[in-house]
Amino acid sequence: MTVASVAVVYHSRYGHTKVIAEQIAAGVRTAGDVAVEVVSVDELPEPGKDRSLGGKWNVLNQADGMIMGSATYMGDISSEFKQFMERSSGLWYGQAWKDKLAAGFTNSGALSGDKQSSLHSIVTFAGQHSMIWVSQGVMPSSYTNDGKNLNRLGAWTGFMSQSDNGGPDVTPGQADKDTAQAFGKRFGVAAIRWVKGRN
């Protein structure tokens, strides 16, 4: 029986951020008794006239924690991810996601690429929903010098990765995938502790 449930909700137009979402989910699974579902914002139906949200919105509503991620476009989250945020406003009104765990991730083409803005957008969104933020938790490779190259981009607020000008089958590389798994595991462990403490 699973103790906690986690949803990884993301937007990816060209597949690179999707690869990271899947790696994060794989990491969550290694934490133990956690159920994980990966949901693209493209799968979330638009609200009904009464602002009701059905379909895969229920996966998010039922999760104990949500790891949210978007590709960085023009120095911030994608317009599709922003639409997801705005569509959740009916849930925000009732604070339906209050006290769920939350974390954020983003992928971009440049090493920096201004993608801290994407994490800031996601942490602000989590705050609006009164969620509880879980940070990245892996020290950057420039400090560890352990040869693993984990967190090579040096993020703390959330997870960052970078893809070169190639397909999602070749980039982002293994170090970013390994970092995604470590980040997912950290979140899964936190979700188990959070649910056990609540019950």
Instruction: Give contact residues for ligand FMN (rule: CB under 6 A).
Output: 12-17, 71-75, 107-110, 113-114, 163
**Min. distance of Cβ 93 from ligand FMN in angstroms?**
30
Other CB atoms within 10 Å distance of the CB of residue 165: 6
CA distance 39 to 23: 13
- CB contact set of 161 (below 8 Å; sequence gap of 6+): 16, 20, 105, 106, 107, 153, 172, 176, 179, 180
* C-beta closer to ligand FMN: residue 20 or 28: 20
In the three-class reduction of DSSP (H, G, I as helix; E, B as strand; rest coil), residue 74 is classed as: coil
Comparison of 32 and 109: residue with beta carbon closer to ligand FMN: 109
Decide whether 31 or 67 has the Cβ nearer to ligand FMN: 67
Least distance (Å) from ligand FMN to the CB of residue 151?
A: 17
> What residues are paired with 159 via a beta bridge?
105
> Nearer to ligand FMN by C-beta: 104 or 113?
113
Q: Which residues contact 114 (CB under 8 A, 6 or more apart)?
A: 72, 75, 76, 108
Please state the φ and ψ torsions of residue 84, each to the nearest 5 degrees: -55, -45
Q: Which residue is nearest to ligand FMN (CB)?
A: 113
| Token pair 């949901």 in the structure block, residue | 39
Least distance in Å: CB of 9 to ligand FMN? 14
Closest to ligand FMN by CB, 70 or 88: 70
Shortest distance in whole angstroms from residue 14 CB to ligand FMN: 3
Single out the residue of 137, 143, 173, 175 nearest to residue 155, CA to CA.
137
* Helix locations, 129-173, DSSP H: 141-144
Instruction: Work out how close the CB of 146 gets to ligand FMN at its nearest, in angstroms, rounded to a whole number.
Output: 27
Closer of 75 and 127 to ligand FMN (Cβ): 75
CB of 107 to ligand FMN, least distance (A): 5
At 159, list the tokens.
Answer: 């997870």
